[in-house]
Structures are given as C-alpha cells and as structure tokens.
Structure 1
Amino acid sequence: MPDATPITDVSIGSEGIRLGQFLKFAGILDSGGDVKEAIIDGFVRVNDEVERRRGRQLQLGDIVTFEGRRVRVCV
C-alpha cells in the first residue's frame, strides 16, 4: 500500500544537493550533528530505502523521509 503522507516540494535552485545539506536546508533538522546522528541511526530514508550516507548526492525528484515528513527535491 502506498504511503499516504503528503509530500512537500523543496526547491534547491540547482540540480543536486547532498543529503546532509538538504536535511538542514529543508528545515527537517537544525544542525549537522542532528543530521549525522539521524542518518547513522537509520532514521532517514531516500526513495523509501534507508540511507546511511550523509554525503549521498540527491537528484531532482528524490523523496526524503524523516519522522513522518516526506520532502521531494525540486528545482
């Protein structure tokens, strides 16, 4: 069954951004320390798969999920 949680579009103004940067830019997490901890602990998903690399390069259309929030990377 598909996830019914609404998706918020966040414009990054370019074609790519790293996961750690995006989590802060989108206002999902406040600090680099929080980002690192959430990713290492496996709480962040990209396109419905757990992602443990803070430096993962996100592409347009990727959907990042954390604590019930779903955010899509847009231009």
Structure 2
Amino acid sequence: MAKSAPIDDVPTHGEGIRLGQFLQLAGLVDSGGEAKEVIREGDVLVNGEVDQRRGRQLQVGDIVEFGGRKARVSD
C-alpha cells in the first residue's frame, strides 16, 4: 500500500483565497506564472479532483495537491 503524502496546513487567516494564490502561499509553486501553467495543464487537484480554474475560491478545509505534495487551507 502506497504511503500518502503528509498534508501541510496553510493558514489564510480567515481570508478567502484563490487557487493560484494558494499554490504560491503554500510554496507548491514559485510564481503566479507557474501556478497558471500547472493549473491549465490539469496538474493540480482540489479535494482529489482536477480543477483548471485559477480563480477558484478555496474554502477552509480544501486540500490542494501538486507535485506529490498536499496543502490544506486552514484559518
């Protein structure tokens, strides 16, 4: 059985955050341009499903996966 990646909690301090911004905040990508590219390519999962909307509004508890890493939106 494959071990799943640990999930890092990334605080957004109760503020809404968009998917592209969250990828940067969580350190999953280095730039907004990189975020745009990996989202467009379908390489990003939100709650286990591909999401190609860079402007998707994330909620507390959402889990974003990219590059073998996972990050959860937290307060």
TM-score, scaled relative to structure 2: 0.92
Identical pairs, percent? 60
Show structure 1 runs of 5+ residues with no match: none
Alignment deviations for residues 3-28 of structure 1 (CA, whole Å, 9 cap, x no partner): 72211101011242100110111111
What residue in structure 2 maps to residue 56 of structure 1? 56
TM-score normalised according to structure 1 size: 0.92
Aligned residues: 75
Q: Quick check: 1:15–1:60 contact (8 Å CA) kept in 2?
A: no
Give the superposed CA RMSD: 1.6
Residues 39, 12 of structure 1: CA spacing in aligned structure 2 closer, same or farther, 3 A cutoff? same
Higher strand share: 1
Structure 2's unaligned 5+ residue stretches are none
CA distances 1:35-54 after superposition (whole Å, capped 9, x unpaired): 01000000000000001000
